[in-house]
Amino acid sequence: MSTLRGAVAIVGAADTVVGKVPQMGPTELWIDAALGALADAGIDKNEIDGLVTCDSMAEPYMYHAEAMAEYLQIFPDYCMGIGAGGGTAFAILHHAASAIATGMCKTVLISMADSLRTGLTRAQAQVMQSSTGHKQFEQPYGLPVPAYYALIARAHMDAYGTTAEQMAAVAVSCRAHATLNPAAQMRDPITVADVLESRPIADPLNLLDCSLVSDGGAAIVLTAAERADDFPHPPVYLLGAGEGHGHEHISQARSLTTSAAVESGRAAFAMAGLGPADIDVAGLYDCFTPVVLIELEDLGFCAKGEGGAFVEGGNITLGGALPVNTHGGLLSHCHPGNPGSMFHLTEVVSQLRGAAGARQVPDARFGLVHAQGGIMSSHCTLVLGTER
């Protein structure tokens, strides 16, 4: 596993437009992201010999990767569809890197897209939200996804004295970053008071504590590090990767306040030979505001129980100790379901290239992205850098 350090590099990255995109369905968004990443890498589609995707909720295929290869008219040696919820994007990259390192292919296209805003009816969205839980022990209570995260939020508040204001500070920080990003879905500034006064969703979470519902897609091109200098942009190397899996259903979680990000982060840092203090910029999965607090703690950026104070102190904003989600995150940039974390990845790639414009973190050398799928179930952490 340690051989993955510096073995591969991201040499192309692209996002589609996001928000409400009724003129394009999930497949069209997927193709748009894929072609954008190929153009960014300066290569033709026929140079791709590996393809990894995630299925769409709004337009599912039985064999999604094969269907997208057919649509794009490429014929890869390595073709794979993966599903790991919100953590899929980083698990995909982890597996694609392994395929390159073991010689299964040389250059992999990873593209993900969906249309949760315009591609699902309200009834379909409600079914999706209410079908996540265990059929015997959770679904009978009628809980939608926000209610499960409200349970986690309340547990953190009870255990550590975390306040609603501290959770709201996550949303305020993400929105402040989004105001600097012309591509973000929501760009009007908000305050802690705005978050606390927004419509209640599931106590203690209000509307602005919850991620957006969006259409959109993003893609990257990954290749062997030895080839990385042949592409137009400075390569971004994969230095560390780790996964952690704690449970499938939240009723079976060992803890509501400590996640398998502990294991995924520990493995990623060990492979990279780095620690939390080395990271210049991070993309942390922010489906709901309390999730960011737990991730900050479990990844080692602050002590357990101090996530609220860390965020409240301005540490995750531009200019802070650890700028987080500089594109706006799921809370303000977009959240099209499983592809949501791809935008965290493309943003950190932009940061490490020095190409993030008004939201650029000065002299960014090392970045971390982390995502989780399910209800804090499956976690994946990647450490990225400008040098091998």
Q: Does residue 86 lie in a domain region?
A: yes
Q: Does residue 171 lie in a domain region?
A: no
The pTM for the full model equals: 0.96
Q: Does residue 139 lie in a domain region?
A: no
pLDDT of amino acid 380: 95
Split into its structural domains, the chain has a count of 1
Question: Which domain, by its residues, includes 381?
Answer: 2-119+212-385
Q: Does residue 292 lie in a domain region?
A: yes
CATH for 111? 3.40.47.10
335 contacts 214 by C-beta, under 8 angstroms: yes
pLDDT of amino acid 120: 84
Q: Does residue 265 lie in a domain region?
A: yes
Q: Does residue 129 lie in a domain region?
A: no
Q: Does residue 177 lie in a domain region?
A: no
Confidence tier at 86 by pLDDT (50, 70, 90): confident
Q: Does residue 127 lie in a domain region?
A: no
* pLDDT, tens digit, 9 for 90 and up, residues 314-346: 999 999 999 999 999 999 999 999 999 999 999
pLDDT of amino acid 105: 96
Average pLDDT taken over every residue of the chain:
94
- Is pLDDT larger for residue 126 or for residue 155? 155
* pLDDT, tens digit, 9 for 90 and up, residues 227-253: 999 999 999 999 999 999 999 899 999
Most confident of 117-121, 131-135, 291-295: 291-295
